[in-house]
């Protein structure tokens, strides 16, 4: 595929995503503008196009797609099936049976903790996915947690990047991030 064709596909996909995003003001708390991807997930052809777009950025040799709770689970499952590899949930604390590894991080509106199963990722090549990149705290914590578990994070991908929050700066020194749409 030529660069011009690929760029055209990327532009078309970004437009499709933008058309299906729903802005929810003051959620989950006052002052936060939430980008809801539910209309995108509910549109079969659009969701398929997103998964194929993310698969193009996955590169080769991915063993596991790790998805961040909760919308990242949906993306990770579909993407893992497309790539023919395994899937792993990155969960909120207390949702996985022990043993687990845990990491705390800051959000744009508070703090949180995530965890992953211990002992299943050593030597595995992982693509880390989520729906939206905001301040980068969640993806950074997840990438560090996966590395602590013995995995090699080979890339990160999101559907939407909130460029005005400069989340990429929090990901400095980590594997590359691919975003299908930056707003």
Q: Which of 108, 125, 148, 168 is catalytic?
A: 108
State how far Cα 124 lies from the chain centre: 18
Backbone angles phi, psi at 132, to 5 degrees: -135, 135
Catalytic residue flag (residue 168): no
d(CA 86, CA 82): 10
CA distance 95 to 83: 26
| Cβ–Cβ < 8 Å for 147, 141 | no
Has 60 been annotated as catalytic? Answer: no
Chain mean position to CA 147:
16
C-alpha distances out from residue 143 to 25, 92, 106, 135, 173, Å: 29, 15, 14, 14, 11
8 phi, psi to nearest 5 deg: -65, -40
Catalytic annotation, residues = 71, 108
């Amino acid at each position: 595929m030529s660069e011009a064709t690929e760029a055209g596909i990327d532009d078309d996909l970004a437009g499709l995503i933008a058309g299906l995003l729903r802005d929810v003001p003051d959620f989950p708390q006052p002052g936060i503008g939430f980008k809801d991807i539910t209309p995108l997930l509910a549109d079969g052809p659009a969701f398929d196009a997103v998964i194929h777009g993310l698969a193009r950025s996955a590169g080769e040799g991915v063993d596991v797609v790790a998805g961040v709770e909760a919308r990242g689970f949906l993306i990770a499952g579909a993407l893992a099936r497309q790539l023919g590899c395994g899937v792993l949930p990155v969960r909120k604390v207390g949702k996985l049976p022990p043993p687990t590894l845990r990491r705390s991080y800051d959000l744009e509106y508070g703090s949180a903790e995530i965890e992953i199963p211990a002992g299943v990722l050593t030597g595995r090549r992982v693509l880390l996915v989520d729906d939206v990149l905001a301040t980068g705290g969640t993806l950074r914590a997840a990438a560090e947690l996966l590395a602590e578990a013995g995995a090699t994070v080979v890339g990160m991908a999101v559907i939407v990047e909130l460029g005005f929050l400069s989340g990429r700066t929090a990901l400095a020194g980590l594997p590359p991030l691919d975003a299908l749409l930056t707003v």
